[in-house]
Copies of this chain bind each other. A is one copy, B any other.
Amino acid sequence: MSTPHDHDFDRATAVARRPGAAAPDDAGDTVSVHDVTIDGGWSIGDKPNGGYLLAMLARAAVEAGATIEGPGHPHAVAAHAAYVGPPVPGPAEVHSEVLRRGRGMSQVRARLVQGGDTRVEATFTLGRLLPDAEPWWGGDAMPVVPELGAERRTPTDGPGGVPLPIMAHVDIRLDPATAGFTRGAPAGVGELRARLSFADGRQPDALALLYAVDALPPATFDIARTTGWVPTLALTAYVRALPAPGPLVVRQRAGLVEAGTVDEICDVWDSRGRVVAQATQLAGIRTA
């Protein structure tokens, strides 16, 4: 049986707790520090993917939240990241503070620090998801995304000559109905749909869903006239269930474009057709 660290994603998100005294912050909470290495292979162009960074921060937060007494809260069920400035590949630190340890849930803040500056500020609600949980009410129906051959896999050389090194690690196959932008013919709907899996066969889990909600290109690529880099300002993700093995279906939708920003809504279903994650982000956009 393989251990988590046999896989790309787990190596790239690894965290190592730094031994020694943790210092209290100004509100008296204890700060623990993890050393991390940001892997340049998980980038879009030269910018590390925001979901990848969020997953790394979640691992530090879960470890910071664990106690020696109990099994703790191993899953980030709610996550928020404010992207302050892109980090560069290489060493960085995660500073985590436990804001509250509850019976069913804990809340932890984690910040990615590099060169003395905060690059990502994240807040997590941690809990424990159970494999036999059933939806009680609601949940969007999974869209039909055709099974696609390997020739539809997103290549590592992106449109406009932007390198996409992350596509060596993940296998994203866009529904051809929403992939018009790749040949200069967006549908104008503001929606992208895809099947997503890890290239090395790693199965999805709660941690991977934090990456999955930020894995697709901006849904604004499906709107005519919009161009260029759409930097995420803030991302909120909810992990609602443990995903079953198999590819995920991901849908990314653009909401309102106004005053230089766009909100995007992401939904993720597992191979059973269950909603397993939901997210929203506010991103900057140029419409001139």
Q: State whether A137 touches B190 (Cβ < 8 A).
A: yes
Chain A 94-123, CB within 8 Å of chain B: the 1/0 string?
Answer: 010001100011010101010011100101
Number of interface residues of A (CB under 8 A): 63
Question: Secondary structure of the A side of the interface?
Answer: strand
Q: State whether A254 touches B137 (Cβ < 8 A).
A: yes
Within A211-245, the residues touching B (CB, 8 Å) are: 223, 226, 233-234, 236, 238, 240-241
Q: CB-nearest residue of chain B relative to A113? A: B27
Any chain B CB within 8 A of the CB of A134? yes
Binds B, one of A10-18, A65-73, A165-173, A256-264: A256-264
Cβ of A185 to closest chain B Cβ, rounded Å: 17
| Residue from B109, B129, B133, B241 within 8 A of A121 (CB atoms) | B109
Chain A 245-287, CB within 8 Å of chain B: the 1/0 string?
Answer: 0000000001111111111000000000001001010101001
Any chain B CB within 8 A of the CB of A6? no
Any chain B CB within 8 A of the CB of A36? no
Cβ of A200 to closest chain B Cβ, rounded Å: 29
| Residue from B28, B82, B254 within 8 A of A116 (CB atoms) | B28
Cβ of A240 to closest chain B Cβ, rounded Å: 6
Residue from the set A118, A133, A278 with the largest chain B CB neighbour count within 10 Å: A118
Give A contacts to B, CB under 8 Å: 23, 25-29, 31, 77-78, 80, 82, 84-85, 95, 99-100, 104-105, 107, 109, 111, 113, 116-118, 121, 123, 125, 129-130, 133-140, 190, 223, 226, 233-234, 236, 238, 240-241, 254-263, 275, 278, 280, 282, 284, 287
| 9 shortest interchain CB distances as A-B pairs | A137-B257, A139-B256, A236-B236, A136-B257, A133-B259, A80-B80, A78-B234, A135-B258, A82-B123
